[in-house]
């Protein structure tokens, strides 16, 4: 386009992107909220559900009629009221028919309408048949009695109800779920008898508190026999705020050494639960379980059998683990968000919800009574005209036969209204001749009584309350049932950790000089006699149980821990610790410890510093371990010595051939640090590695110390050690000639 050309926007509307997007998004959001996702408080329906039920009632598919193909019903809904997808419409229809999804199903189906194990496995609509359930009467019975507002359908060819005149608070009974724009709703189902009782309480005592209403509404009531384990005070908070969460737990019993699960939480698949348990068994995370079976059939829809490995297993603890780690326990979100009478969405408390529904119900009943009163008055007016006609039958028939325009003549002669004159003229002469005064007067009397009763009820608030209360009681009696979801307050489920689940067997963990580790079954293992890689040899070993942790100490004073049952078998040569742990560069492993976490050890550096520590304080779950012993410069880490009691004698021997002994309780108990001085070492000689601590040991009462020097050894009893006793931190005394170069020491 050349620069001289000018674009003319005449006749073209210009709109900024912001001015276009904002209203568009708002319109979309409001459409989703109002017409798709959120239910109306009056009847508890979303538009698609309301249209399905209404269309089925128009087709005459009552609970007493034959079932009709679902495809024809869906076609009717789409063609007349709901111009959307047939699949989504059919899915909404299926949901209302599933007795395991809806507490009080609105539709009775024939054919495959899904199963509790797989609710989405229903047959196509051309294969299933449906009709309304008896419960649907509670939403349709007052439809033709002037109780609802009507609106044109999508193409304006017919009318549909804005809401259905629900006789019970269906929004709470069947619940609802939906995701709108910026908000959602999750209303759990409730028991009809409980909700009706709460409504009656609120009618009789308009100022009844939430706590008083909760005396009747104990909690949600799902269409499953599983337990609701949420504490009572938490349920109260949910009903007070309108949001929270409810926990459900499967019900089980212990029969003949087997766990039988016979009730699952709401919408939990039994096959999925078995999959989860089997997965744990495959991954060796659940050694307590021997076998799984699904014995569900038509008589027992849910029967999952879990076979423990032995009768010594703590069943309660095992089930607690399964509740925590599988769908045997599930949490359900609660968000009491509905569209109110004012047409706006809002999260309501239980009291607000019941109160608003009762307002809706009072208005519905008032409209029903007024409609009936108008009908009665109109009929009485017509009967009055009929009676005049009967009393003057010959004259009336004469006027009709002779007059060209009988209507004004009849009106003038007998003082009739247009309506009365038209009704007489519309009645056949044969029927007029057959009129009986007794019948007319009997009908008049009956209608007069009804008129008086209606006028009294409409004129009295107390009578209105009584009427609604009686209707609620009658509906609860006819359609209500006992609670299914048992409310039992239980302790929170806890998943067992790896150590609890691992089998407890005696094992010996063996560490090589090059840092390779393996685990051998039993405690009678000759660790030094195992085969090692070329250039590698035995360094240390520790006896423990397979469900305990093996603790490794490196030359920098850091400690690490690994589950003993996860270590490779001693049938091979093991694997390097560096594959699982991340020690500092240049560090080497010096020792392995294991056994009771309460066991005390003496940890020390060859600079002559150390402290007492429990094994549990050395356990580090991180790959990089943790700093346990602060090692001075130019010093190394000694193999920790086990402590049997505080009365043990601590023995320390230096490379200079000096030995010092003193009570071990003189050293402090720390979880980490450098420790206190055990034996005096010349700092200059330590720096050049001329002098350092060779070995440490703790000698219990009744045992002796064996010092090995080359092929020679010398034993010291406790009495002999007295010669080397001294204050902590002293230099100690010289060992006998020939044993001043000690290689290692042993307690025997």
Strands 649-654 and 693-699: antiparallel
Does the active-site annotation cover 54?
no
Dist. CA 412–CA 250, nearest whole Å: 80
Dist. CA 590–CA 547, nearest whole Å: 23
Query: 281 vs 181, 285, 324, CA distance in Å?
Result: 42, 6, 15
Query: 423 vs 365, 388, 418, 432, CA distance in Å?
Result: 30, 12, 8, 11
Dist. CA 652–CA 639, nearest whole Å: 12
Q: Is 549 helix (H, G, I), strand (E, B) or coil?
A: strand
Q: Which of 25, 28, 127, 254 is catalytic?
A: 127
Dist. CA 433–CA 273, nearest whole Å: 78
> From start to end of 250-328, where are the E strands?
251-255, 258-263, 289-294, 304-308
Dist. CA 53–CA 96, nearest whole Å: 10
Query: 248 vs 94, 98, 260, 266, 639, CA distance in Å?
Result: 24, 20, 17, 8, 53
Q: Which two tokens stand for residue 543?
A: 């006896």
Q: Is 261 helix (H, G, I), strand (E, B) or coil?
A: strand
Q: Is 196 helix (H, G, I), strand (E, B) or coil?
A: helix
Query: 169 vs 200, 380, 460, 478, 605, CA distance in Å?
Result: 12, 36, 24, 15, 77
**Using a CB cutoff of 8 Å and minimum separation of 24, what contacts does 416-419 make?**
416/385, 416/388, 417/381, 417/385, 419/378, 419/381, 419/382, 419/385
Dist. CA 357–CA 202, nearest whole Å: 11
Query: 436 vs 46, 386, 443, CA distance in Å?
Result: 51, 10, 11
Give the number of residues written for the chain.
Answer: 748
Q: What is the largest CA-CA distance in the chain?
A: 159
- Is residue 516 within 8 Å of residue 568, measured between CB atoms? no
- Is residue 560 within 8 Å of residue 568, measured between CB atoms? no
Active site residues: 127
């Amino acid at each position: 386009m050349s620069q001289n050309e000018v674009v003319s926007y005449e006749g073209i509307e210009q709109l900024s992107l912001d001015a276009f997007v904002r209203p568009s998004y708002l319109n979309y959001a409001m459409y989703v909220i109002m017409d798709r996702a959120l239910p109306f408080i009056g009847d508890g329906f979303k538009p698609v559900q309301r249209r399905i039920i209404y269309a089925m009632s128009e087709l005459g598919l009552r609970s007493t009629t034959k079932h009709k193909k679902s495809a024809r019903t869906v076609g009717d809904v789409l063609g007349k009221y709901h111009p959307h997808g047939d699949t989504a419409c059919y899915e909404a229809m299926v949901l209302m028919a599933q007795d395991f999804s809806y507490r009080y199903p609105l539709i009775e189906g024939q054919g495959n309408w899904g199963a509790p194990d797989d609710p989405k496995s229903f047959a196509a609509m051309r294969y299933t048949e449906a009709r309304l359930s008896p419960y649907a009467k509670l939403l349709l019975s007052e439809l033709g009695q002037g109780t609802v507002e009507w609106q044109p359908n999508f193409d304006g060819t017919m009318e549909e109800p804005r809401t259905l005149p629900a006789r019970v608070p269906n929004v709470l009974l069947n619940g609802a779920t939906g995701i709108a724009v910026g908000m959602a709703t999750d209303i759990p189902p409730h028991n009809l008898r409980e909700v009706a009782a709460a409504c009656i309480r609120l009618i009789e005592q308009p100022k009844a508190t939430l706590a008083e209403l909760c005396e009747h509404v104990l909690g949600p009531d799902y269409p499953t026999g599983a337990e609701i384990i949420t504490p009572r005070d938490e349920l109260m908070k949910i009903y007070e705020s309108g949001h929270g969460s409810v926990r459900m737990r499967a019900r089980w019993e212990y029969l003949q050494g087997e766990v039988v699960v016979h009730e699952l939480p709401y919408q939990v698949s039994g096959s999925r639960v078995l999959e989860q348990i089997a997965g744990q068994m495959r991954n060796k995370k659940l050694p307590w379980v021997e076998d799984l079976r699904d014995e569900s059939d038509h008589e027992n829809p849910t029967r999952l059998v879990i076979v423990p490995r032995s009768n010594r297993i703590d069943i309660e603890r095992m089930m607690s683990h399964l509740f925590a780690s599988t769908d045997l326990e599930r949490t359900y979100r609660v968000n009491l968000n509905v569209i109110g009478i004012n047409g706006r969405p809002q999260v309501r408390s239980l009291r607000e919800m019941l109160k608003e529904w009762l307002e809706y119900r009072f208005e519905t009943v008032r409209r029903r009574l007024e409609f009936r009163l108008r009908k009665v008055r109109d009929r009485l007016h017509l009967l009055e005209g009929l009676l005049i006609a009967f009393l003057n039958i010959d004259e009336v028939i004469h006027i009709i036969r002779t007059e060209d325009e009988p209507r004004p003549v009849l009106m003038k002669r007998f003082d009739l209204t247009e309506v009365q004159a038209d009704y007489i003229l519309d009645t056949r002469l044969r029927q007029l001749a057959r009129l009986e005064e007794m019948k007319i007067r009997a009908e008049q009397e009956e209608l007069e009584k009804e008129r008086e009763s209606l006028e009294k009820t409409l004129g009295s608030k107390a009578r209105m309350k009584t009427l609604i209360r009686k209707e609620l009681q009658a509906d609860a009696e006819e359609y209500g049932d006992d609670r299914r979801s048992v409310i039992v307050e239980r302790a929170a489920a806890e998943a067992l950790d790896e150590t609890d689940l691992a089998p407890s067997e005696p094992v010996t963990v063996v560490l090589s000089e090059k840092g390779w580790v393996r685990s051998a079954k039993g405690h009678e293992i000759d660790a030094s006699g195992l085969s090692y890689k070329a250039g590698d040899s035995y360094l240390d070993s520790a006896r423990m149980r397979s469900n305990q942790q093996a603790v490794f100490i490196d030359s920098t004073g850091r400690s690490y821990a690994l589950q003993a049952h996860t270590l490779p078998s001693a049938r091979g040569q093991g694997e390097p610790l560096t594959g699982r742990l991340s020690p500092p560069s240049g560090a080497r492993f010096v020792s392995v410890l294991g056994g009771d976490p309460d066991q005390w050890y003496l940890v020390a550096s060859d600079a002559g510093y150390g402290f007492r520590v429990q094994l549990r304080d050395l356990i580090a779950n991180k790959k990089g371990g943790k700093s346990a012993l602060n090692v001075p410069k130019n010093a190394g880490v000694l193999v920790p010595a086990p402590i049997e009691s505080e009365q043990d004698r601590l023995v320390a021997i230096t490379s200079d051939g000096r030995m010092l002994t003193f009570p071990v309780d003189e050293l402090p108990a720390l979880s980490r640090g450098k420790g206190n001085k055990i034996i005096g070492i010349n700092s200059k000689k330590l720096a050049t590695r001329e002098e350092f601590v060779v070995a440490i040991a703790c000698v219990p009462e009744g045992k002796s110390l064996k010092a090995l020097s080359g092929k020679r050894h010398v034993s010291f009893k406790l009495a002999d050690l007295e010669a080397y006793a001294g204050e902590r931190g002293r230099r100690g005394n010289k060992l006998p000639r020939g044993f001043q170069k000690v290689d290692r020491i042993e307690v025997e």
